[in-house]
């Protein structure tokens, strides 16, 4: 893996204290080369792109020197993995595929200049993938038919969740826990969750809400919980390791994802892999994941419906079947299933490339 790791200028102290230049690490057996530095021109996308492409090509050359020339490149997101892969392709002829994850398209955050650069990378890719069918449709409309077809290949649920023991169902008639794990940023709509929880369960100390993750809205969200009088029922857990997320899911009753936008929702399949029912919004990703047997889908940004749905799922909680929820999730998103699909994509691209070269 190669990654130009440019830090934001908001981290101003890292200008002097942060790392610069090349570093290699072993990530669970995967060699990862990073080029550390600052993103000096955040408001000038063209200069950012030029800088990242240069660093990406440096990293690629270093990768080849250490590990040999790869047969295929897989870029995760067009900005800027796909753009770097296209630049490498123009130099080497190595084919590349793209998997897109970003919500920037749904949120209309792409400038015309960026769209032009993205269109080049998309058009020349050997295969275009996105993490959910609705997201494929969005990207198909956004880039047009001439840029090529998009295919859904979902994210993988880690075996860390898939092999964790299923916890015993909550036998208490009173105690009940909701969990949300997310970046504490506006598009995750955690403020809606806190307000809905207060509307449904204020002054009911047996029902609690645990919120994992960190971000710029953390203090504002804490103040919201305080103003609603539910401080004793809401616990902010801060940033969690993956093992801590496993523990939190194991010890909760229902997982909630109230986002405004998601292209997929990895935390949803992590909860399902541990047999937990989920409440999620129809925000671009969860509607392609959740079945009726898995929980509840609701509209985005509707606090009243979210509140009523949390009350409903608490009442009907024992109707859900943890083992069946897990088995269905793993049949669709397990490591073996998705790895097999990706290998098929790589084989198809390489076979086509070999035929074209003859």
Spatial contact of 23 and 34, defined as CB atoms under 8 Å apart: yes
d(CA 187, CA 184): 9
d(CA 198, CA 195): 5
**DSSP strand pairing (30-38 vs 73-76):** unpaired
CA 19 to chain centre: 26
187 with 305, same domain: the answer is yes
The number of domains in the chain is: 2
Q: Which of 266, 107, 117, 252 is nearest to 175 (CA)?
A: 252
45 with 68, same domain: the answer is yes
131 with 244, same domain: the answer is no
Read off the pTM.
0.91
Q: What is the pLDDT of residue 357?
A: 74
126 with 187, same domain: the answer is no
Residue numbers of the domain that contains 204: 159-333
Question: What DSSP line would sit under 48-109, residue for residue?
Answer: HHHHHHHHHHHHHHHHHHHH---S-EEEESIIIIIHHHHHHHHHH---EEEEE--STTTTT-
Profile the chain (358 residues) by mean pLDDT over runs of 10 residues: 90 86 88 92 87 96 96 96 97 97 94 93 97 96 96 96 86 84 97 98 96 97 98 98 97 97 97 98 96 98 98 96 98 97 97 80
Q: What is the pLDDT of residue 258?
A: 98
119 with 254, same domain: the answer is no
d(CA 13, CA 34): 20
Written as six digits, the tokens of 161 are: 């969740």
258 with 151, same domain: the answer is no
17 with 149, same domain: the answer is yes
Q: What is the CATH number of the domain that holds 242?
A: 3.40.50.2000
CA 98 to chain centre: 15
127 with 169, same domain: the answer is no
H or E stretch at 213? none
Written as six digits, the tokens of 334 are: 């397990």
151 with 186, same domain: the answer is no
302 with 351, same domain: the answer is no
d(CA 154, CA 263): 10
Assign 255 to helix, strand or coil.
strand
Written as six digits, the tokens of 283 are: 């925000």
Question: What DSSP line would sit under 35-47, residue for residue?
Answer: EEEE---TT-HHH
d(CA 353, CA 72): 10
282 with 216, same domain: the answer is yes
Written as six digits, the tokens of 92 are: 């080497």
8 with 88, same domain: the answer is yes
Cβ neighbors of 84 (< 8 A, separation 6 or more) are: 4, 52, 53, 56, 57, 60, 75
């Amino acid at each position: 893996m190669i990654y130009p790791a440019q830090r934001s200028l908001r981290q101003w102290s890292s200008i002097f204290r942060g790392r610069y230049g090349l570093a290699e690490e072993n990530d669970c057996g995967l060699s990862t080369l990073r080029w550390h530095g600052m993103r000096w021109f955040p408001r000038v996308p063209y200069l950012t792109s030029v800088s990242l492409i240069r660093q990406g090509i440096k990293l690629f050359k270093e990768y080849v020197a250490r590990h040999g020339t790869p047969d295929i490149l897989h870029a995760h997101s067009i900005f800027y993995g796909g753009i770097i892969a296209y630049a490498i392709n123009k130099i080497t002829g190595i084919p590349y595929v793209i998997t897109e994850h970003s919500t920037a398209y749904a949120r209309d955050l792409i400038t015309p200049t960026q769209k032009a650069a993205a269109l080049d990378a998309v058009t020349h890719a050997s295969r275009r993938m996105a993490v959910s069918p609705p997201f494929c449709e969005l990207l198909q409309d956004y880039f047009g038919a001439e840029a090529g077809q998009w295919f859904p290949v979902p994210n993988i649920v880690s075996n860390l969740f898939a092999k964790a023991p299923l916890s015993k169902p909550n036998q208490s008639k009173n105690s009940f826990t909701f969990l949300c794990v997310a970046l504490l940023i506006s598009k995750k709509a955690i403020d809606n969750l806190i307000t809905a929880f207060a509307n449904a369960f204020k002054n009911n100390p047996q029902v609690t809400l645990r919120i994992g993750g960190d971000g710029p809205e953390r203090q504002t969200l804490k103040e919201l919980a305080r103003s609603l009088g539910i401080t004793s029922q809401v616990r902010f857990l801060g940033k969690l390791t993956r093992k801590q997320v496993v523990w939190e899911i194991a010890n909760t009753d229902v997982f909630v994802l109230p986002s405004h936008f998601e292209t997929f929702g990895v935390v949803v399949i992590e909860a399902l892999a541990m047999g937990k029912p989920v409440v999620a919004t129809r925000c671009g990703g969860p509607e392609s994941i959740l079945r009726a047997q898995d929980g509840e889908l609701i509209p985005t940004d509707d606090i009243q419906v979210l509140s009523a749905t949390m009350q409903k799922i608490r009442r009907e909680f024992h109707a859900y079947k943890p083992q069946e929820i897990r088995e269905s999730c793993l049949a669709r998103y397990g490591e073996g299933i998705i790895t097999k699909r990706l290998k098929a994509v790589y084989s198809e691209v390489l076979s086509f490339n070999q035929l074209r070269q003859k």
